[in-house]
Chains A and B, each alone.
Chain A
Amino acid sequence: MRPLPCTLIRIYPLQLSLSQKESRLGLKLIAPCIGVIGILIIYPILYNIYLSFFDVRLAGENIFVGLANYERLLRESGFFSSLVTTVIYLAGSVIGTTILGLLVALVMSIKFPFRNIVRGVILLPYFAPVISVVFGWQFFFDPVNGIYNHLMVETLGIAGSRYNLIGEPRSALGIVIIFSIWKNFPISYLLIISRLQSINKDQYEAAAMDGCGPVARFFHVTLPELYFVMGTLIILRLIWNLNKFEEVFLLAPNVWTLPVFTYYTAFTGIIDQGYAAAISVVQFVVLAALIIFYVKKVLKW
């Protein structure tokens, strides 16, 4: 490569030093982005914290209430049950997504006919709009028309009578978890398989020479190589799923994870946006901790 400084000095024979010029251009180019992000992301985050100390009126002045909204969070059971629902949802969907992603990646790394088509097709759940697939799932579990109930009651005779699984919050939570796994495993699969394919083949040969069977090779060679990517996936999935609204609300509006709880509090029934802001702040604190952990420990950006 040509030595950089001398070429550049010839090009910019101006009063400003090179690095000054570069830094001016850099700031100029990024200024619009900073403006937009500052006004519409950073400011709202701070404004949200501010609002959480107020009784937010839809008409008229907001009234400062100090920590009253947070006291309510601790006092009322709604927040706690929502927290429990969120934890169950996160645990189920994160574990399920990661394990299924791993299994699919293992299967897809074997050569078989039409593998490329299969690899493409299984990404479809991830890209499909939530709104266009939830109705398929709802129909599947529909108490009157759904195949699930037909299978359970008429064909197999496991259940005594037709049952509305999505209508009942407990079973609905289970279905939301399965739906989330179905929707999001493709991205785990993609990340895992790309790591899987970069594992050095020699390692397998060496292990085989040492008398390791396929199972032992998986645990001693494959899995250790995948720890890092799987850890990354788990943290990312926690962050993403904590923010999920559509995938829960559109499929089963009776499953109150934190985002759904915020939505109901802010826009339905007795509207209380100060309280909703307080819920968001709690969610934000958890999220920020996860993100900082991710940026510090996992990502080298």
Chain B
Amino acid sequence: MHKRRSFIQNIMLAGAVVLLLLFCLFPFIQILSTSLKYQFDWGNPSLIPRKINMDAYRELLGFSATKEVEIPESIKRLLDNPLLKEEQKQKILERYSSTADIFPFARYFINSFLLSAGAAAVSLVLAMFGAYSFSRLRYRGQKIMQRGVLFVYMVGGVLLLVPLYQMGVKTGLASTVWGSVLSLLLIYIIQTLPVSLYMLGNYFRTIPYSIEEAAAMDGCSRLESIYRIILPLSVPMMVTVFIYCFIIAWNEFLFASVFLRQFPDFHTLPLGLQSLFVSRNAIWDRIMSASILTLLPVVICFMFAMRHLTGNLVEGGVKE
């Protein structure tokens, strides 16, 4: 079967691979390139910036010096007026030096990180016990549970949009800041719980029963055997599930926009970026560098978990 490939076949293969890589990576290269360009360079189709612009990154990461405030000439003349009181001058100055212009990237990043990590952690703990229950214990209704998990795992977030919002309004949670944050956290937990149950359930079933039986012989109770045997054995899988849940929550936009739109200090990254994009013009460099910085944690997680992720995705542990 293993014939040597001819020269032409090699060329075709190389061409296909290059084309594929270009298709996959071009948007990322585009984003990186634009994030490093000055405004005069944006219309230039070349991907290599004529002059590297790091201002956007510096601003987002908070390294830029206090922003030079441009005060119109007329106002300057007004300020020079000796008749003006110091207080009034301050007030006028404040209006022009407001910090509203700076994109609070670090704040959004922390908001997103805390929400995602919190939701992923809770979901993982709940799923650990739940998945153990329906994948390794036999009882009436166990099959229904298993099927049920699969069903809710496919019900997407959009379907729950109106009822969950109405529940938030009716319970009064949606009207306060922390209530909204709590609602969002709960929503992220239920968006990730079914997939955690599914992935962990699939994994637990692959652990041989004989290990637990041996533990039982040594006097371990069933609960103890979860702590002492199943959990240590499942650490790599649990890391994978955690990362998978983290990514789902990190990428979520819809519910964040519904619950947190009115609380700018609590915006998550996707929401913050989207409002930045629709609110102002000519900010491609900042939008793109913020995109790169949003992408970074996911890429790092991804490289870390790639081996496990790909393996488990194939086994059907996928959720979108």
List of A residues within 8 angstroms of B16 by Cβ: 107
> Does B291 reach chain A (CB closer than 8 Å)?
yes
Question: Contacts A135-B277, A190-B313, A280-B162: A243 and B129 contacting too (C-beta < 8 A)?
Answer: no
Which among B13, B27, B169 has the greatest number of chain A C-beta atoms within 10 A? B27
Taking CB as reference atom, which chain B residue is nearest A50? Answer: B163
User: Binary interface profile of A, 229-268, with partner B (CB < 8 Å = 1, else 0)?
Assistant: 0000000100110111110011000000011001100110
A-B contact count (CB 8 A): 289
User: Binary interface profile of A, 7-40, with partner B (CB < 8 Å = 1, else 0)?
Assistant: 1100100000001001101111110111011001
Which among A26, A150, A182 has the greatest number of chain B C-beta atoms within 10 A? A26
Binds B, one of A73-81, A117-125, A165-173: A117-125
List of A residues within 8 angstroms of B299 by Cβ: 124, 127-128
> Does A47 reach chain B (CB closer than 8 Å)?
yes
**Given A22-B138, A41-B190, A236-B318, 4 additional A-B pairs, CB 8 A:** A27-B141, A131-B291, A145-B42, A263-B161
> Does A157 reach chain B (CB closer than 8 Å)?
no
> Does B295 reach chain A (CB closer than 8 Å)?
yes
List of B residues within 8 angstroms of A131 by Cβ: 251, 253, 269-270, 273-274, 291, 294
8 A-B pairs in the complex with CB atoms less than 8 angstroms apart:
A26-B134, A41-B160, A47-B167, A107-B20, A121-B21, A130-B251, A266-B165, A277-B162
| A interface with B by C-beta (< 8 Å) | 1-2, 4, 7-8, 11, 19, 22-23, 25-30, 32-34, 36-37, 40-45, 47-48, 51, 56, 58, 104, 107, 110, 112, 118, 120-125, 127-133, 135-137, 139-140, 144-145, 147, 150-151, 182, 184, 187, 190-191, 194, 201, 204-205, 208, 236, 239-240, 242-246, 249-250, 258-259, 262-263, 266-267, 273, 276-277, 280, 283-284, 287, 291, 294-295, 299, 301
A58 to B219, CA, bound (A): 59
Contact B166 A56 (CB under 8 A): yes
A295 to B198, CA, bound (A): 14
Question: Contacts A239-B154, A243-B156: A25 and B167 contacting too (C-beta < 8 A)?
Answer: no
Question: Contacts A30-B145, A280-B162, A284-B159: A137 and B45 contacting too (C-beta < 8 A)?
Answer: no
> Does B203 reach chain A (CB closer than 8 Å)?
no
List of B residues within 8 angstroms of A277 by Cβ: 162-163
Which among B45, B142, B166, B189 has the greatest number of chain A C-beta atoms within 10 A? B166
List of A residues within 8 angstroms of B190 by Cβ: 36-37, 40-41
List of B residues within 8 angstroms of A25 by Cβ: 133, 137, 222-223
In the complex, how many angstroms separate the beta carbon of A56 from the nearest chain B beta carbon?
7
In the complex, how many angstroms separate the beta carbon of B24 from the nearest chain A beta carbon?
5
- CB < 8 Å: which of B21, B24, B140 contacts A23? B140
Contact A47 B27 (CB under 8 A): no
Contact A118 B253 (CB under 8 A): no
Taking CB as reference atom, which chain A residue is nearest B12? Answer: A107
Taking CB as reference atom, which chain A residue is nearest B169? Answer: A58
A11 to B146, CA, bound (A): 28
Which among B25, B137, B295 has the greatest number of chain A C-beta atoms within 10 A? B137
Contact A45 B160 (CB under 8 A): yes
Binds A, one of B28-36, B59-67, B68-76, B95-103: B28-36
A128 to B30, CA, bound (A): 14
Question: Contacts A25-B137, A273-B162, A280-B159: A129 and B24 contacting too (C-beta < 8 A)?
Answer: no
> Does B78 reach chain A (CB closer than 8 Å)?
no
A262 to B164, CA, bound (A): 14
- CB < 8 Å: which of A23, A104, A299 contacts B137? A23
A277 to B141, CA, bound (A): 31
In the complex, how many angstroms separate the beta carbon of B110 from the nearest chain A beta carbon?
16
Contact A140 B30 (CB under 8 A): yes
In the complex, how many angstroms separate the beta carbon of B250 from the nearest chain A beta carbon?
6
The 10 nearest A-B residue pairs measured at CB:
A243-B156, A23-B139, A33-B130, A26-B137, A44-B163, A29-B133, A131-B270, A136-B27, A30-B133, A259-B158
Contact A194 B163 (CB under 8 A): no
A123 to B164, CA, bound (A): 33
Question: Contacts A262-B161, A301-B150: A33 and B253 contacting too (C-beta < 8 A)?
Answer: no
Within 8 A of A (CB), among B105-137: 126-127, 129-130, 132-134, 137
Question: Contacts A29-B129, A140-B30: A127 and B298 contacting too (C-beta < 8 A)?
Answer: yes
Contact A40 B186 (CB under 8 A): yes
Contact A246 B254 (CB under 8 A): yes
Contact A118 B21 (CB under 8 A): yes
Contact A123 B186 (CB under 8 A): no
List of B residues within 8 angstroms of A11 by Cβ: 216-217, 219
Contact A245 B31 (CB under 8 A): no
Taking CB as reference atom, which chain B residue is nearest A247? Answer: B320
- CB < 8 Å: which of B129, B150, B161 contacts A33? B129
A150 to B47, CA, bound (A): 13
- CB < 8 Å: which of A58, A132, A182, A184 contacts B31? A132
- CB < 8 Å: which of A56, A104, A124 contacts B25? A124
Taking CB as reference atom, which chain B residue is nearest A266? Answer: B162
- CB < 8 Å: which of A33, A37, A110, A283 contacts B158? A283
